Amino acid sequence: MSEGNSVAVIGSGLVGCFAALALQRKGYNVSLFDYREDPREKPNNEGNLRSINLVVSARGIEALTELTPDILEPVLQDSCELEGRMIHKMNGSQERQIYGLFGETLQAVDRFKLNNRLLDEITKVDDIKVYFQHKLRKLDLYGEKVIGVFETEDDNIVEYEFDFALGCDGAYSTSRSQLQRYTRMDYAQDYMDCFYVHLSIPPADEKGTPKITPNYLHIWPRTDHMLIAIVNPDGSFTSTFFGPWRLASELNSREKIKSFLMDNFPDAMELMGIENALDAFENNIKGALMCVQCHPYHSPDGKMIILGDAAHSMVPFYGQGMNCGFEDVRILLQLLEKHEFNRVAAFEEYSATRHKDLVAITQLAKDNYYEMSHNVATKLHMFKMKLNWVLGKVLRDGWLPLYTMVSFRAEIPYHKAIAINRRQNLILKFVQTLLVPIIAFGGYKSFVGIYGLVKKISKQ
Ligand code: FAD
């Protein structure tokens, strides 16, 4: 180690826990702080739900595999494989859209269990000290060492000294605001006009039989709002409603909520039970979706860096927030090794190279709201998806749909995925332009013929 090796990780959320484990494996002496109580002792039943799940994809798995291979199995235990999307149309019909060209799947996991399992792994390690009920108030970066000032549960103020600090304290990060005082950081924050509220579909019976196919992300797209549902290990589904804030204030009585849900999601209401859905919609917390962009992510003297949502909070529509945060940790540790643990050089290169990827995924996540709530149900989109699919199957690595690159190809940086997709879209436009005269000349029958052919190949 070329510099001092004591590090404070602020925040024991998903990214902070993973970073603490990964740093300890590289020989750092880690102290992990969080203002919460130990969640394993006080289960966090957010919005009265037993379970809130999230999706782990290639970038998250790659980071776990590279840095902490021994915990991959325990932390992903009882995850459920998702093969694709199941679109629930207004007329009640359903349509499967498979994610992976070659059988790739996503893993749905319970977010609280995942966090607790990471904490269990941390507890097994002697040289990671964990301090719950320690709220970061201030980081003093001006001296030789970093001094962290924390408020404890009994309102005491305590101080600890470290060689450097990692800020993983989420979207409303205190460590980020401390870093902003110390370095010339550009910073932007914006709220999407969208709220979310968690609902739930119970299992069909006591044995835990799911009411709908478990291996799909279920989507009820309704243009400017939508409902999604992801299975839990007990056969229930966590369902999330997303819609513009206007709806949150318009739906101001049980009757109005009832007619809105029955008009838009009659089949989903049958699965949930309308009274349960109404209780959840009325009482569960309505969450806001905030995006944060900043740059650089570090202090120039190697004393501090921020990762995860603290550095790049994004909307959840690509299922990448945590996956991207785990990738932050993987890339940072790769750079530390490359620079023989010289933090000044590693942090500098991290901020310089990582920014374009974080800007890219934040934008992709925003764009995917329209894709999920609207596009997935349109005929033109379906045709494009099928064409993409066929080209991907036939040309293999020569043609990769955007979703495949983002979710299943950890080796393709986000900004490159966007560039490749732009190029492919140009080619697709060209192909479409060629198809128009063929269709015009051959009439509707030739369109149906081509569409049928594409559909047939895409099923192989
Ligand atoms: P957080 O999880 O926010 O953790 C921050 C921690 O810091 C907390 O424990 C907090 O208590 C602590 N803290 C905060 N301030 C202080 C302080 N001053 N002192 C001490 N401790 C402090 N991502 C995916 O990859 N896949 C998905 O499918 C997915 N689905 C999502 C669905 C929804 C509805 C939402 C809202 C998000 C979703 N995400 C998903 C995003 C994902 O949840 C976040 O990206 C991820 O939780 C970020 O982890 P983090 O550790 O950076 O921050």
**Pocket of ligand 1 contains residue 148 by CB under 6 Å:** no
pLDDT at 392: 87
Give me the amino acid identity at 319: G
* Ligand 1 binding pocket includes 10 (Cβ within 6 Å): yes
CB 60 within 8 A of CB 68: no
Give the least confident one: 159-163, 201-205, 387-391. Answer: 387-391
State if residue 49 touches ligand 1 by the CB under 6 angstroms criterion. no
Closest CA to 234 of 387, 405, 358, 80: 80
Residue 430 pLDDT > 90, yes or no? no
Per cent of the chain over pLDDT 90 is 78
Confidence of residue 1 (pLDDT cuts 50, 70, 90): very low
> What mean pLDDT do residues 162-166 have?
98
List C-alpha distances in Å: 117 to 9, 71, 124. Answer: 18, 9, 11
Query: For ligand 1, what atom is nearest to the CA of residue 175?
Result: 18
- Token pair listed for 263: 């008009």
| Over residues 435-455, mean pLDDT | 65
Residue 126's pLDDT is 87
Per-residue confidence (pLDDT) for residue 381, from 0 to 100: 80
Q: Is 200 helix (H, G, I), strand (E, B) or coil?
A: strand
The answer to whether the Cα torsion of 41, 45, 49, 54 is positive or negative is negative
Residue 35 near ligand 1, beta carbon < 6 Å: yes
Q: Is 396 helix (H, G, I), strand (E, B) or coil?
A: helix
**pLDDT, average across residues 383-399:** 84
Q: In this model, does residue 2 exceed pLDDT 50?
A: no
User: In 70-212, which residue ranges form alpha helices assigned H by DSSP?
Assistant: 72-76, 111-123, 174-182
325 C-alpha vs ligand 1 centroid, how far in Å?
A: 9
Encode pLDDT of 8-40 as tens digits: 999 999 999 999 999 999 999 999 999 999 999
pLDDT at residue 55 is higher than 90: yes
Q: How far is the CA of 309 from the centre of ligand 1 (A)?
A: 6
Check if 214 has its Cβ closer than 6 Å to any atom of ligand 1: no
Give the model's pLDDT for residue 47. Answer: 47
In the block, which residue shows the tokens 């494996």? 25
pLDDT at 48 over 60: no
Residue 101 neighbours by CB under 8 Å, 6+ apart: 389, 392, 393, 400, 401, 404
55 CA: nearest ligand 1 atom:
28
**Residue type for position 133:** Q
Q: Burial level of 357, CB count in 10 A (0-12/13-18/19+)?
A: buried
Which pTM does this prediction carry?
0.93
Q: Is 26 in the pocket of ligand 1 (CB under 6 A)?
A: no
Highest mean pLDDT among 131-140, 366-375, 428-437: 131-140
- Give the mutation target among 9, 14, 110, 137 for probing the ligand 1 site: most ligand atoms within 8 A of CB: 14
